[in-house]
Amino acid sequence: MVTAIPFPFARIVTTAVVVAAVVLFGMLVDNAFVITLAGYTFAFSLFALSINVMLGGLGEVPLGQCVFFGIGAYGAAIGMVTLKLPFEVALLLSMAASVVAAALIGMLTLKLTGAYFSIVSWGLSGVAMVAALNLPDLTGGPLGMFGFPPITLLGIPLSEPRAYFFACAGLLAGAVLLMAAVRDSRFGAAIESVRQNPHLARSVGVDVFRERLKAFTLSAPLAALAGALCVPYTQIVTPEVFSVSNTVDALLMVLLGGSRLAVGPIIGALIFSIIPYFFDMDPNVRVLVFSGAIILVMMFAPGGLHQMAQALVRRFSGGAR
């Protein structure tokens, strides 16, 4: 079970404050770059949530999760440019494609656990990248795909910064609600039992492989949604979306924010994009800083930064458990 903020009242207040802050940010901030970056951060947070279904949910490190992110990005691009479909339709088709891909990949790889699963899934992302590089008719090859028509989602112009921000925020909020429902459901309890003790889970009637496969096929469309929503920001899709560094970025967000908290990945994503922006960091410096931060977090707060915050609150409120 994921640790939740203890009192429903406190949770409602926290949620209200966060929603108000997001709405005010979206309405009051005028810097188009900042607001677009914030929207992109929310879009990428969906990818971190997808990673956390595997990491926090199943206890697996899905190094190849970028395959589904890439399917979303390429799906949106190919749908719009090659097939001349509206963005919404391309988005839904790419999410459906990611579910099919996850079911197939999962059936082949989810018997594996731990490092074996991570390595095989990493290998598959390499296969995806080579495929994207070498299928120029489908993917545009090494140059990738660009030159999209103005992108709208159900009439919302995603090329307009404020609209993009609110669209991404809304979809992210929906995804968080879905994750919360999953966590509190029979399915969520089943994957938690599988993560903690697969032997005992099987003995109380959990079909371990099936629950793992279900979790994997749930994580895929979240990643695809993230991939497609990043297209209006990046305006180009290259084979680099299949790069493992893409996955590692999202993994670091999850670890920073905390994998045991439903919104942990989002906290991590915010830190991940705010800090480099404020300190105007060179990408190479960024890698150094975040690598260092991860080592420190893993050493002193293996549950992520929210665990540190909870420990502080507990210390100052004098409550001991």
**Cβ closer to another protein: 10 or 127?**
10
**Cβ closer to another protein: 136 or 174?**
174
Distance in angstroms (rounded) separating the CA atoms of residues 317 and 201: 37
Query: Quick one: the chain helix, strand, coil %, rounded to 5?
Result: 75, 0, 20
Q: Residue 282's Cα: distance from chain center in Å?
A: 24
Question: By CB under 8 A, is residue 1 in contact with another protein?
Answer: yes
Least gap, CB of 256 to another protein (angstroms): 21
Bridge partner residues of 156 (DSSP)? 153
Question: By CB under 8 A, is residue 186 in contact with another protein?
Answer: yes
Distance in angstroms (rounded) separating the CA atoms of residues 101 and 65: 11
Distance in angstroms (rounded) separating the CA atoms of residues 173 and 149: 27
Question: By CB under 8 A, is residue 190 in contact with another protein?
Answer: yes
Question: By CB under 8 A, is residue 193 in contact with another protein?
Answer: yes
Question: By CB under 8 A, is residue 4 in contact with another protein?
Answer: no
Distance in angstroms (rounded) separating the CA atoms of residues 209 and 247: 24
- The alpha carbon torsion through 229, 55, 282, 41 (nearest 10 deg) reads 30
Question: By CB under 8 A, is residue 181 in contact with another protein?
Answer: yes
**Cβ closer to another protein: 28 or 204?**
204
Q: Residue 260's Cα: distance from chain center in Å?
A: 14
- Residue pair 251/61 in contact (Cβ under 8 Å)? The answer is yes
* One character per residue 140-179, x = contact with another protein (rule: CB under 8 A): -------------------------------------xx-
Residue spans of alpha helices (H) in the chain: 8-28, 32-52, 66-81, 87-109, 114-134, 136-139, 161-183, 186-196, 198-203, 208-234, 244-257, 264-278, 283-300, 305-317
Distance in angstroms (rounded) separating the CA atoms of residues 103 and 213: 7
Bridge partner residues of 145 (DSSP)? 237
**Cβ closer to another protein: 92 or 179?**
179
Nearest to 221 by CA among 65, 60, 64, 59: 65
Question: By CB under 8 A, is residue 84 in contact with another protein?
Answer: no
**Cβ closer to another protein: 206 or 244?**
206
Distance in angstroms (rounded) separating the CA atoms of residues 227 and 209: 27
**Contact region with another protein (CB under 8 A), list: 33-41, 90-98, 100-108, 193-201:** 193-201
Choosing from 131, 184, 234, 289, the residue that interacts with another protein (CB under 8 A) is: 184
Least gap, CB of 195 to another protein (angstroms): 8
Least gap, CB of 299 to another protein (angstroms): 20
**Cβ closer to another protein: 203 or 245?**
203
**Cβ closer to another protein: 154 or 204?**
204
Least gap, CB of 23 to another protein (angstroms): 23
* One character per residue 194-233, x = contact with another protein (rule: CB under 8 A): --xx-xxxxxxxxxx-------------------------
Residue type, 66: C
User: Which residues are near another protein by CB under 8 A?
Assistant: 1, 177-178, 181-182, 184-190, 192-193, 196-197, 199-208
